[in-house]
Chain A
Amino acid sequence: MAKRCRVCNGAAQIKRPKTGDIMCKECFYYAFEEEIHHTVLAGKLFTAGETVAIGASGGKDSTVLAHVMTVLNERHNYGLNLILLSVDEGITGYRDDSLETVKINQQEYGLPLKIVSYQELYGWTMDSIVQQIGLKNNCTYCGVFRRQALDRGAMLLKVDKIVTGHNADDIAETVIMNVLRGDIARLRRCTAVTTGTDGALPRCKPFKYTYEKDIVMYAFHKNLTYFSTECIYSPNAYRGFARAYIKDLERIQPSAIIDIIHSGESLCVKKDVRMPVQTTCSRCGYISSNELCKACVMLEGLNKGRPRLGIGKTHKERRLFNEELARQAAEAAATNCNETTTTTTTTTTFTNSKVCCGGKGACGSMGGSGQAPEMCGSNLQSKSESDCVGSVSPSGGGGVAECANSLKKVRIGVPTAKPNLLEF
């Protein structure tokens, strides 16, 4: 006996992974799209007339996202102006291939495409980063940089919002990861359908309740071209455990993924738990929990040939580094006492010319998109820098104290940026 579709009673072709229902293709497409439409409506993700960047990697999630957003935009008259936005991490044999897929998508849907690369933004490709730090922790770099890169690209395009293809499996996985790591601040944030509403560019996840397997099913039957190779650099092992756990859960009970999201949504944090306050990075102006954002810290580590500065126990690396700096400064002071105040300050504090360059380049690009230009430049009050104030040579120390007294946000001794970064 031929199986019948649960909805229209026609001939059924598929068993829907999310619910286990027997359906025909058309009814599945409709249910799949309308559920996303509900997420969009219920979460009030967009208002008419907005320009929305679709974070497109060429993978299945973003390919289907681009397709569904185009479909829904027409069907329900969202009135959105859609743009594809890709980040080129500079991974040979992986990203260059997947970007080709994005270009095919671009032609299919007739959407404009913008590609921003790590090389332009940071002066480093993932290939060169991996050369520096090896295959351990490289994903930390890539993750932190990609997040910022997407925002920066979006600011260049002057869009109102970014949508990403994070699906229900990804969110459930993140919830589990954050419980395992005890990261209460992220645990609270990670289930939000829109993040970054305060100040930064809002990011939405229309696939928040969409199952990964449903997405694959949709892409497969709609014959959407997507790129499906794992990144050539080793995947994050710990996240791999969480991922395997989610998959096992789904096998036992398909609703488990959405149940975890419900759990995540209904958690509430005790009032007396201290939360990190979100501020902006004093160097690049990007949203950050610390004085310096993670990307700036990591970039600094890379540029100084100390890649471990940005990962793991930062303070240990930093202390060693500061000691080394102090020693060098002392030697320099002994040999050459007649340096000018400003130059001493810049060489002895944490910012050296190359880092400022990276920060400046990035800021410059943001300045172009209407961000306040005074965000670049180092802030004297920054914790990391005041740490090393004690190790500054006498003349430099005076300079620092003087500046610190005069103003809260002073731009001191930023050397002229070497324009090795592309300006937009």
Chain B
Amino acid sequence: MCSVQEEAIPQQLNQLTGKLQCVKCRRDVPVVVTRVNDAFCQDCFLVYAVHKFRSAIGKSKVIVPKEHVLVAYSGGPASSALLHFLQEGKKEGKLRFTVTVVHIDELALVSVSDKERQEKVQEVVEIVQQRGFPLLLTSLECAMDMVKPEAGESSQAPEMCKEVTSEKEVDALANPDKGDKLKKLLDSLPSISAKEEFIRVLRNQVLLGVARERGFTKVVVGDTATALSVRIMTDMAKGKGSQVSFDTTIGDKRYGDVMVVRPIRDLNMKEVEAYNRLQNVESISIPHIADQWHKSNSIEQLTAHFIHGLQENFPSTVPNIVRTSDKLGHQDIESLPEKCSLCESPLDTDVGEASALRAVEVCERLLQKDGASRSQSQAAQSSDCTQHDRVAADNMKASLCYGCRLTVKGLRDVSLLPTHVVQKSQSRCLSRDEMRAQISEFLLDDENGDTPNS
């Protein structure tokens, strides 16, 4: 940080004397300044950007040749650039895998008319078709019900996504019922930070769901270094430190069957935007619920504001943060740790007594210490909360990671959560009940009034 000013001096000198030249070819006039003070001419910059993308895939060896991969496309600048990289690779015959694009329609969360919704989706369809990739359309509300069909009845289960073959089919994917369920759930989440986290998890679930349904084992996403650094800090702030490594690595293996790949994680947002400008890559601005949120009420927006502000004054901020996450690992997934029923990350709640989680629990327990009478009176007050609901809530809580517990914390009715999540949390406690049944005769339980006479 101290060196920033020192290094800025030659740059300024260059500008004064007018001898500015590309750092790479030392010939042409630069058009883009990237990293700290590296000025690139147009050609060299494009080579640089494409190289970053290709080397990320090449070096990491996460994608096997001839593999079919699913590429997530939101319409934003980063994923638009990603599609362009892929198209260029395909044109040159250097793309060694085949690409299917998936777009998640999230307009159910915003109050737009069906017509507008259709128009926006139409724009997506046009861009993807222009790039020459097949497109699957799905919507965020699909994730509200992703119950895995039994082996026999798979044909009856509603499909997660639709292929776009002709333009007429576009409007058929909105699902008003599930859309309403999703809205109701979001409304009952108490904080913006919980809402944004839930939407993110849901988006991830849709991607995984589509990939699983269509038999893809790789999902490619357009996370830039800038987006990742915001992700890392947001994860930290939301108690998801154990997921930082998964959320940012090039090949995220936490789900086991589907891997999430991030090939443009070495490019920052500024570079992506420069690339889009130089290559005339179009992106679409789609209204999003997050547009209404602000840094005074959303942790993610606050973090983004914080990182972007730092990045302006200290250009090494983003690379520093990403490099930190590169040094982080995760618990061994081979050992099949229990997974969170919401975000499918390994649970991070099996901690020792001296831990933040226990400290929080002690804090809560101390509040109730004095009052057996008080807790009864409180239970009487909230009579709508039945015993059964409380058990369901406790089971749900036990099946979630620390971060997801925070997300659903203020939720009064856990049955509002996506059906598959509720089922998973129940099956978890069922399996515990089964275990209990198996060993019941050896448990010296005072509940059984008549002890077995052995």
Q: Could you tell me which A residues sit within 8 Å of B by CB distance?
A: 6-9, 18-19, 21, 27, 30-31, 34-35, 38-39, 42-44, 137, 175-176, 178-184, 187, 193, 208-209, 238, 241, 245, 248-249, 251-253, 255-256, 258-271, 273, 311-313
B310 part of interface (Cβ distance < 8 Å): yes
Are B327 and A262 closer than 8 Å at their CB atoms?
no
Given A42-B353, A265-B351, A269-B327, A260 contacting B359 (CB threshold 8 A): no
- In chain B, positions 244-259 with a C-beta closer than 8 Å to chain A are 244-245
Residues from chain B with Cβ under 8 Å of A19 in the complex: 363, 367
Expressed in whole angstroms, the minimum distance between the Cβ of B339 and any Cβ of chain A is 15
B191 part of interface (Cβ distance < 8 Å): yes
Are A175 and B236 closer than 8 Å at their CB atoms?
yes
Number of interchain pairs (Cβ within 8 Å): 169
CA distance A415 to B388 in the complex (A): 80
Q: Could you tell me which B residues sit within 8 Å of A by CB distance?
A: 1-3, 191-193, 232-233, 235-242, 244-245, 295-299, 302-303, 306, 309-310, 314, 317, 320-321, 323-324, 327-331, 348, 351-360, 362-363, 366-371, 374, 402-403, 406
Q: Which of A245, A251, A258 contacts B356 (CB 8 A)?
A: A258
Expressed in whole angstroms, the minimum distance between the Cβ of A33 and any Cβ of chain B is 10
Are B402 and A249 closer than 8 Å at their CB atoms?
no
Q: Which of B232, B348, B356 contacts A261 (CB 8 A)?
A: B356
Residues from chain B with Cβ under 8 Å of A312 in the complex: 2-3
CA distance A149 to B347 in the complex (A): 42
Are A182 and B320 closer than 8 Å at their CB atoms?
yes
Q: Which of B193, B352, B356, B374 contacts A9 (CB 8 A)?
A: B374
Are A179 and B232 closer than 8 Å at their CB atoms?
yes
Residues from chain B with Cβ under 8 Å of A8 in the complex: 370-371
Residues from chain B with Cβ under 8 Å of A182 in the complex: 320-321, 323-324, 327
CA distance A311 to B317 in the complex (A): 20
Q: Which of B298, B328, B352 contacts A269 (CB 8 A)?
A: B328
CA distance A181 to B317 in the complex (A): 8
Expressed in whole angstroms, the minimum distance between the Cβ of A210 and any Cβ of chain B is 9
Given A252-B298, A312-B3, A18 contacting B355 (CB threshold 8 A): no
Expressed in whole angstroms, the minimum distance between the Cβ of A320 and any Cβ of chain B is 14
Are B193 and A38 closer than 8 Å at their CB atoms?
no
Q: Which of A259, A265, A267 contacts B328 (CB 8 A)?
A: A267
Residues from chain B with Cβ under 8 Å of A266 in the complex: 241-242, 348, 351, 402
Residues from chain A with Cβ under 8 Å of B236 in the complex: 175-176, 179, 260, 263-264
Residues from chain B with Cβ under 8 Å of A259 in the complex: 237-239, 356, 402-403, 406
Expressed in whole angstroms, the minimum distance between the Cβ of B172 and any Cβ of chain A is 39
A-B pairs with lowest CB-CB distance, top 6: A263-B241, A259-B239, A262-B356, A270-B329, A209-B359, A266-B242
Chain B minimum-CB-distance residue to A191: B356
Q: Which of A181, A271, A311 contacts B320 (CB 8 A)?
A: A181
Residue among B2, B244, B295, B362 with most chain A CB within 10 A: B362
CA distance A27 to B240 in the complex (A): 32
Expressed in whole angstroms, the minimum distance between the Cβ of A136 and any Cβ of chain B is 9
Are A7 and B371 closer than 8 Å at their CB atoms?
yes
Expressed in whole angstroms, the minimum distance between the Cβ of A235 and any Cβ of chain B is 16
